[in-house]
Amino acid sequence: MFYVFFTFFVGIFISIILFFKTTVNIDKYLETGIALYRKQDYNNAIEYFNKIIDIDPANTTSYLYLSSIYESLGKYQEAEKMYMTLLKLNNPNNNRNKVAIFMKLSTIYKKNREYDKQYLELRKVLEIDSSESQAHFELGIFLAGQGYINEAIDEFKKVTEIDSQNIDALLYLGLCYASRNWWNEAKSKFRKILEIDKNHPKAHMFLGYIYKDEKKPDAINEFTDAMNNSKGELYYKAALLCGLTSIEQGFYDKAISIFESELLKEGIPSNWIKEYKYNLAWAHMFKGNSSRAVEEWNEIANIDINFYNVADLIKSLDEVDMESLEDDWKIYCINETLPNIDIVIGHPKKYDIELLNQEFSQWKHENQELLNLKFVKGIPRNSARLAKANSAAFKKTCRMIVEHYNLIIEEEQLKAAGLNYICHSNTKNKKKVLLCVRNWVDELSEQPIYDVLDEIKSNNCDIGMFITCGKFSRAAKQLAKKNKLKIMGAKALDKLLVEI
């Protein structure tokens, strides 16, 4: 009997030792792997994270770091495998993690030019969380690149509804309108950008294109502003258009001044030197100085005899049909117009959207719980109802919560998956309060707590309250308590919703 108990005790003792040894090894490997990752010593970091996975195949932290490393190295198939593994390890009810993984997959598919796969991942994201603005934006880019302009407009509008200051969405929305020849709408979006950022070079550039086509002198001012706020290829293009438009509108001296000034600068690529000289010659020609024009064309011919129609221009002017060549130059000018959005995006391949939508429908069928689950498993009824509510019902309930706590709203901020309210208490001290409400139904870690604490600080609030339809991990609760942040999970929220 003694031997049996002794053997049992020794077995337990050895198991405990092995458990702590394994835990120590994982912690040590993880610490080393992360340190190597931060030094961008990726090959050695991969070795340590793989050692952890050999010990613990469900170690999500290792898969996260490996996916990031493979993505940085351009090994997109390996990164995809890591994200797919994370998806399998994810709790089926953890929609927040699903959205993050689908977004990361969409990013690596975009980098690998697998735009059809990117499209499907973005659709999955928006099926779970329709307020994910980056997914709407990327979906708009894809649709515009495929020629689905109206559908792209809808997606970019959704981005601006979530964030009215989103410059990228406004820029592409303007380009979509221009592709439809809705010039007033396009101009309004580019002007909106300049209200947000008065020095935005592309907004100035695109407005300049439209004014150029409208033959308005404002075009020259816009191209000048684009020059003053850009560098590289965009700068060279803006300078060309500034001079070109000056010629078109009869400001020949201005055009000559622009091109001569640019040609004096060092380091200009040869292709732009030819462009500037070519149009400088035309400015001299239209001004009546034909000999100076021929000099410039001869200089271009010495560099590149095949540049545009310069071979004809350097002939004796008596032998040249200048009227015909002038028409060629006008066509050249007309072709310098606002680029079509599908050219800006540059998708090399067109996809069968209908076929992709069928594939997405199949995914929906296989993941029916994402669509038809009325309430969320393990979440009290009223909290689940709020999590699944439409935007109007969600906002109405949030305002009822604000009123319940006797707070006065100063500002309402639309956030991904919820709302923020900047309030002040209806008391003598009038403390400034940040109330955050989110429709997440999964267990929250420390990161969302840190995010809310940052928002309290950035909004200069005295105190904060964080309400979620899910629950908080033990570490999240401890962090909130340490920072005196009041939190409310699904169970407490359910009772509150009954009261109000």
Each domain of the chain, given as residue ranges in start order, spans 2-84, 381-499
CB 152, CB 174: distance < 8 Å: no
Which one, of 85, 82, 77, lies nearest residue 65 by Cα? 82
Half-sphere exposure of 212 (CA within 13 A, CB side): 28
Tokens of 274: 């030819």
Q: Length of the chain, please?
A: 500
Asked whether the beta carbons of 433 and 409 are under 8 A apart, the reply is: no
Q: Is 153 left (phi over 0), alpha (psi -120 to 50) or beta?
A: alpha
Give all strands of the β-sheet with 486-488 in edge-to-edge order.
407-415, 418-425, 432-438, 463-468, 486-488
* Amino acid 24: pLDDT: 55
Burial 338-368 (b: 16+ CB within 10 A, else e): beebbebbebeeeeebeebeeebeeeeeeee
Regarding the domain delimited by 2-84, which CATH topology (the fold level of the hierarchy) does it fall under? 1.25.40
> What's the CA dihedral at 471, 472, 474, 479 to 10 degrees?
-160
Phi-psi region of 78 (alpha: psi -120 to 50; beta: other; left: phi over 0): alpha
CB atoms within 10 A of CB 495: 12
Q: How far is CA 430 from CA 373, 401, 403, 427, 437, in A?
A: 42, 18, 15, 5, 21
Instruction: For residues 262 and 265, give the distance between their C-alpha atoms in angstroms, rounded to a whole number.
Output: 5
Fold classification of 381-499 (topology level)? Trna Endonuclease; Chain: A, domain 1 (3.40.1350)
* pLDDT of amino acid 495: 87
pLDDT by residue, tens only, the chain of 500 residues: 444 444 444 344 444 443 444 555 788 898 999 999 999 999 999 999 999 999 888 888 899 999 999 999 999 999 999 999 998 887 666 778 889 999 999 999 999 999 999 999 999 999 988 989 999 999 999 999 999 999 999 999 999 999 999 999 999 999 999 999 999 999 999 999 999 999 999 999 999 999 999 999 999 999 999 999 999 999 999 999 999 999 999 999 999 999 999 999 999 999 999 999 999 999 999 998 988 998 999 999 998 998 888 887 777 555 656 677 778 788 888 888 888 888 888 877 789 999 999 999 988 877 765 444 444 555 677 777 787 777 788 888 999 999 898 899 999 988 878 899 999 887 777 889 999 999 888 888 888 998 899 999 999 999 999 999 888 988 889 999 999 999 999 889 988 888 87
Radius of gyration for the chain, computed over Cα atoms and rounded to the nearest angstrom: 31
Amino acid found at 174: G
Q: What is d(CA 214, CA 204) in angstroms, rounded to the nearest whole number?
A: 15
- The two three-digit tokens of residue 257, written as one number: 């001044």
Q: Which two structure tokens, joined as six digits, stand for 269?
A: 């690529």
* Token duo for residue 190: 């580019």
Asked, colleague to colleague, whether 2-84 and 381-499 share their fold, the answer is no
Cα separation, 237 vs 71, whole angstroms: 33
Judge contact between 177 and 340, C-beta under 8 A.
no
User: According to the model, what pLDDT value does residue 376 have?
Assistant: 52
**Do 181 and 165 form a contact (C-beta atoms < 8 A)?**
no
- The answer to whether the CB of 280 falls within 8 A of the CB of 300 is no
- In three-state form (DSSP H/G/I as H, E/B as E, the rest C), the secondary structure along the chain is CHHHHHHHHHHHHHHHHHHHHHHHHHHHHHHHHHHHHHCCCHHHHHHHHHHHHHHCCCCHHHHHHHHHHHHHCCCHHHHHHHHHHHHHHCCCCCHHHHHHHHHHHHHHHHHCCCHHHHHHHHHHHHHHCCCCHHHHHHHHHHHHHCCCHHHHHHHHHHHHHHCCCCHHHHHHHHHHHHHCCCHHHHHHHHHHHHHHCCCCHHHHHHHHHHHHHCCCCHHHHHHHHHHHCCCHHHHHHHHHHHHHHHHHCCCHHHHHHHHHHHHCCCCCCHHHHHHHHHHHHHHHHHHCCHHHHHHHHHHHHHHCCCCCCHHHHCCCHHHCCHHHHHHHHHHHHHHCCCCCHHHHHCCCCCCCHHHHHHHHHHHHHHCCHHHHCCCCCCCCHHHHHHHCCCHHHHHHHHHHHHHHCCEEEEEEEEECCEEEEEEEECCCCCCEEEEEEECCCCEECHHHHHHHHHHHHHCCCCEEEEEECCEECHHHHHHHHHCCCEEECHHHHHHHHHHC
Contacts of 224 (CB under 8 A, 6+ apart): 238, 242
Which residues are within 8 A (CB) of 62 and not within 5 positions of it... i.e. 6 or more apart? 30, 33, 49, 50, 52, 53, 56
Question: Which positions ≥6 away from 268 have C-beta within 8 Å?
Answer: 236, 262, 276
